[in-house]
């Protein structure tokens, strides 16, 4: 019997991307402390790309050590505006501050993915999306957050592009999968190359 493909994530969004692509897989969240891994990287001046890639690799490796022989997909995403790296807002007030800081600016989503087997990385990749936010007023942000509620706290940018968050933008340069947090076209291409899915 073929070993299962495993997604090292509890994210319903990433799971839905793989399900919609017709992949057969299991999902097991990585048992890592993301903030403990991230903090020293950021303090040492690591780029947002490097942070995302390091976390994606750490997730894939940790789960692959628990499921010997299985191919494990780990992914992570950072969001940056200039030198500032954003984290999920802990409160609705923080979400409002996030959105107002993005107003009239173009921020970048850095989506990393890594494959691991038996504790070793076998492939990794990073993709970007540049997100131009229209000019937002504090009143609009307050009304927007009142409508979307605590869903704003589930993503690093305090928005869900697949929902009302789309109203925040005037231009997007990047593919949908990268924005959601899993560069799916690159993942599928590598899975075909490895013979893991029908090519």
Buried b (16+ CB within 10 A) or exposed e, 38-50: beebbeeebebbb
Q: Which is the catalytic residue, given 33, 49, 76, 175?
A: 76
Q: How many helices (H) and strands (E) does the chain have?
A: 7, 7
Cβ-based neighbour number of residue 125 at 10 Å? 17
**Catalytic annotation on 49?**
no
Query: Do residues 120 and 94 touch, judged by C-beta distance below 8 A?
Result: no
Q: What CA–CA distance (Å, rounded) separates 36 from 168?
A: 31
Residues belonging to the active site:
76
């Amino acid at each position: 019997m073929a070993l299962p493909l495993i997604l090292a994530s509890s994210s319903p969004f990433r799971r839905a991307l793989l399900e919609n692509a017709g992949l057969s897989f299991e999902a097991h969240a990585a048992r890592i402390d993301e903030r403990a891994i991230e903090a020293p990287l950021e303090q040492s001046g690591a780029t947002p790309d490097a942070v995302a890639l390091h976390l994606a690799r750490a997730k894939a490796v940790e789960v692959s050590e628990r499921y010997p022989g299985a191919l494990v997909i780990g992914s992570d995403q950072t969001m940056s505006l200039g030198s500032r790296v954003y984290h999920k807002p802990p409160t609705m007030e923080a979400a409002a501050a996030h959105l107002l800081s993005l107003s009239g600016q173009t921020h970048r989503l850095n989506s990393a993915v890594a494959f691991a087997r038996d504790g070793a990385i076998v492939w990794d990749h990073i993709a970007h999306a540049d997100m131009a936010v229209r000019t937002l007023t504090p009143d609009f942000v307050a009304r927007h957050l009142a409508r979307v509620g605590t869903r704003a706290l589930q993503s690093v940018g305090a928005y869900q592009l697949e929902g009302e968050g789309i109203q925040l933008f005037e231009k997007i340069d990047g593919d949908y999968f990268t924005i959601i947090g899993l560069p799916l076209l690159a993942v599928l291409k590598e899975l075909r190359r490895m013979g893991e899915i029908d090519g």
